Amino acid sequence: MAKKLTIALAGNPNSGKTTVFNALTGAHQHVGNYPGVTVEKKEGTLKYRDYEINVVDLPGTYSLTAYSIDEIVARNFVVEEKPDVIIDIVDASNLERNLYLATQFMELGVPLVIALNMSDLAERQGLKIDRDNLSALLGTPIVFTVATKRKGINELLDEAIRLVEGKVKLRRTTVSYGKEVQEEIRKIEETLIKDKRLIEKYPSRWLAVKLLENDSEVTKRIKESPYFDEISAAVERSVAHLKGIFGDEPENIIAEGRYGFISGVCSETVRRTYEIHHTISDRIDKVLINRILGLPIFLGLMWLVFKFTFKASEPLVGWVEALQEWLGNLLEGILPEGSAIQSLVVDGIVGGVGSVLTFVPIIFLLFLAMSVLEDSGYMARAAFVMDRLMHKIGLHGRSFIPMLLGFGCNLPAIMATRTIEDRRDRLVTILVNPFMSCGARLPVYTLFIGAFFAERMAGTILFSLYILGILVAILMAKIFRKYLFKGPAAPFVMELPPYRLPTLKGLLIHMWERGSVYLKKAGTIIFAGCVLVWFLSNFPWNPKYSKDYEVLIKQTEGNEEVVSQLENERAFEKLEKSYAGRLGRTIAPIFKPLGFNDWKISVGLFGGFIAKEIVVGTLGTLHSIGEADEESETLRQALQNEKRSDGSKLYNPLVAFSLMVFVLLYIPCVASIAVIKRETNSWKWPIFAAFYTTAVAWIVAFIVYQGGRFFGLGG
């Protein structure tokens, strides 16, 4: 007995859908109307292999949004009748316009086969479509057809049967609408899934998208839900949020997301095209994602971002430093002089945490500049430009997004690798992500660049560190892919949304979302770290000194120069005898070949494992204790004046740059290690990441320092 199979034919008007229908069913067809409407309903039958196939020719539509009766009829048939397979007839010579309907079928999660019809016409127009890659990117079988000549018709039926029988091995693809929209879709889904009967009938993600698009037909169906009020409230909040961020209706944002997805697909799979593009975005893209100009433009824009960050933050940093100094003096006068509590509050908390908070304006301005690039639509182009390079080194195209997020914070960046389906690609991305210079490292760069490099060089030096991190990540990814995780990278679609003018509200929200993470760390992890460093550097509280400083100071009272010298000697000896001093001297030999001849730096780097900002907080804590020279009030001045036992300067630009390179590359912070453990479900990979990144950091910093000395740059 023949098995029954229902196939629905869908497609844009003039895509050749009727010709395909006729080629499939021949004379075995009949025409009627859909119930309740005057829209024509065409059905036909055929026998193929062991199947008796019923073919339904759906009304020609450009989308499945409820704007016209044809669209409603087509969608209702797919959603309510649930045909076994949807065959979407796509005009191969007009791929970008026709694939819009396909993205909506993909959203519905229905069994889908795409027929690239009129493929002969596309070939004559010079279009060369990579079918296998297109199939992998869309997650659906692709068949070339020429319906007028019956070419590909049997293959179309074969693919439909293979899909029904579960013989198609393709990953499911969904359109990503960007972080903001995706988050709102997730929130609405969380409310929708409370109504189990509703979710059994319709996919929750599809419902959420349709509600954001203000689809009247879907809204009618939701009204029947006992959770209607709660769902409506969630949708209203999401719509208001998105309108505030983008300054546009969510349905327009979603439509642009689909077209961006399609543009990325076509860029990846169409080798040559004569299609005429008239949009402003397309004209701009001819320059910004040009194969020759794209990368230099991206690097130039990033360089400008860093120059802007340094220049615009100067007055703000000055205000924060002045506030820190005022607060320190105020508390010093209130708290008991010479007591442990005064030292803890003034030196440990205000001096340590305050040194880190000094860089808040810089970090917030960097995130503001990055938000401008992201909200304008350029960052997706940057991802597209870099995607070519990612493929060359064997990384997954999706890897660029987590790596890009890594410039803000490695924690969400590592978690963002969940979007990468292939385990090997995901692990490689996780392991190289710590080399992306996160915002936590920025205070260290700012401190040493400001202390040892001219202002005109600041942006360039900072830019070089970010580029070095990218290059090291690329090199290690190449090594991992060749020796540790062998195999080809999975395909990827890079969405290219249209350019838009960022809204002030959206920029401020994005800046605050990212910058507030830094403030939270300053109030928790960094605070705890600075207190720990203060404890290590102050205890034992009264060590056994080599001299009786109290007696000597009393004997020389009135001679300010001698008293100041004795106080400095006592402070330095206390540091050396403290737990921090012992720790620093123990690990200092490891860093000596890198130019770090100061045990305080060793302690700072050790504290950097807790959070990279603590390197600055530690130095602030240590130097505020040992510094008594009124001419060296700031941390930068303290570092500039730090001397060896022979009287020579301890730091110079080469040592500073070597130190920044080490901080850029060495062990991820403890929070990142914990996230790697959670994302890999194993201690093997976080431990491996901790050791291998530190080894890479030591090697690269060694090359920088020793190479600089070889060329006479050591000073």
- The mean pLDDT value for 135-150 works out to 90
CATH code, domain carrying 271: 1.10.287.1770
- The mean pLDDT value for 635-661 works out to 80
Residue 51 lies in a domain: yes
Residue 298 lies in a domain: yes
- Top pLDDT among 398 and 237 is at 237
Mind listing the pLDDT tens digit for each residue in 540-568?
Answer: 877 777 777 777 777 777 677 777 777 76
Residue 368 lies in a domain: yes
Query: Which residue in 125, 121, 123, 102 sits closest to 113, CA to CA?
Result: 102
Confidence of residue 714 (pLDDT cuts 50, 70, 90): low
Among residues 276, 302, 335, the one where a domain terminates is 276
Residues 384 and 429 in one domain: yes
Residues 160 and 24 in one domain: yes
pLDDT at residue 628 greater than cutoff 50: no
Residues 27 and 144 in one domain: yes
Residue 708 lies in a domain: no
Q: Which residues pair with 11 in a beta bridge?
A: 89
Residues 266 and 349 in one domain: no
Mind listing the pLDDT tens digit for each residue in 279-310?
Answer: 577 778 888 878 788 888 887 887 888 778 77
Residues 11 and 122 in one domain: yes
- The mean pLDDT value for 314-332 works out to 80
Rounded alpha-carbon distances, angstroms, from residue 706 to 129, 639, 714? 52, 21, 9
pLDDT of residue 518: 64
Residues 319 and 349 in one domain: yes
- Most confident of the following: 83-92, 482-491, 524-533, 589-598: 83-92
- The mean pLDDT value for 193-198 works out to 88
AA identity, residue 175: V
pLDDT of residue 660: 94
pLDDT of residue 39: 57
Omega into 540 within 30° of 0, i.e. cis? yes
Weakest-pLDDT range from 17-31, 111-125, 651-665: 17-31
**How many Å from the N-terminal Cα to the C-terminal Cα in the chain?**
90
Residues 13 and 109 in one domain: yes
Residue 644 lies in a domain: no
Weakest-pLDDT range from 131-140, 169-178, 611-620: 611-620
Domain count, the chain: 3
pLDDT at residue 652 greater than cutoff 70: yes
d(CA 691, CA 698): 11
Weakest-pLDDT range from 97-101, 257-261, 643-647: 643-647
Determine contact, residues 491/136, Cβ cutoff 8 Å: yes
Residues 39 and 141 in one domain: yes
pLDDT of residue 9: 93
Weakest-pLDDT range from 51-55, 492-496, 613-617, 648-652: 492-496
Query: Which residue in 456, 607, 595, 474 sits closest to 529, CA to CA?
Result: 607
Residue 73 lies in a domain: yes
Residue 72 lies in a domain: yes
Q: 3-class DSSP state for residue 196? A: helix
d(CA 652, CA 595): 10
Q: Which domain holds residue 183?
A: 179-276
pLDDT of residue 631: 30
pLDDT at residue 332 greater than cutoff 80: no
Residues 152 and 26 in one domain: yes
The fraction of the chain above a pLDDT of 90, given in percent, is 18
CATH code, domain carrying 28: 3.40.50.300
Determine contact, residues 79/229, Cβ cutoff 8 Å: no
- The mean pLDDT value for 88-92 works out to 91
Mind listing the pLDDT tens digit for each residue in 668-695?
Answer: 877 788 778 877 888 899 999 999 999 9
d(CA 341, CA 150): 88
Residues 129 and 185 in one domain: no
Dihedral sign for Cα 344, 346, 352, 356, please: positive
Confidence of residue 599 (pLDDT cuts 50, 70, 90): confident
Among residues 107, 135, 164, the one where a domain terminates is 164
**What is the SS3 assignment for 658-669?**
HHHHHHHHCCCC
pLDDT of residue 558: 67
Residues 138 and 48 in one domain: yes
d(CA 573, CA 540): 12
* pLDDT, mean over the chain: 80
Weakest-pLDDT range from 105-109, 163-167, 202-206, 493-497: 493-497
Residues 157 and 195 in one domain: no
Confidence of residue 356 (pLDDT cuts 50, 70, 90): low
Residue 225 lies in a domain: yes
Weakest-pLDDT range from 190-194, 440-444, 671-675: 671-675
Query: Which residue in 589, 311, 371 sits closest to 500, CA to CA?
Result: 371
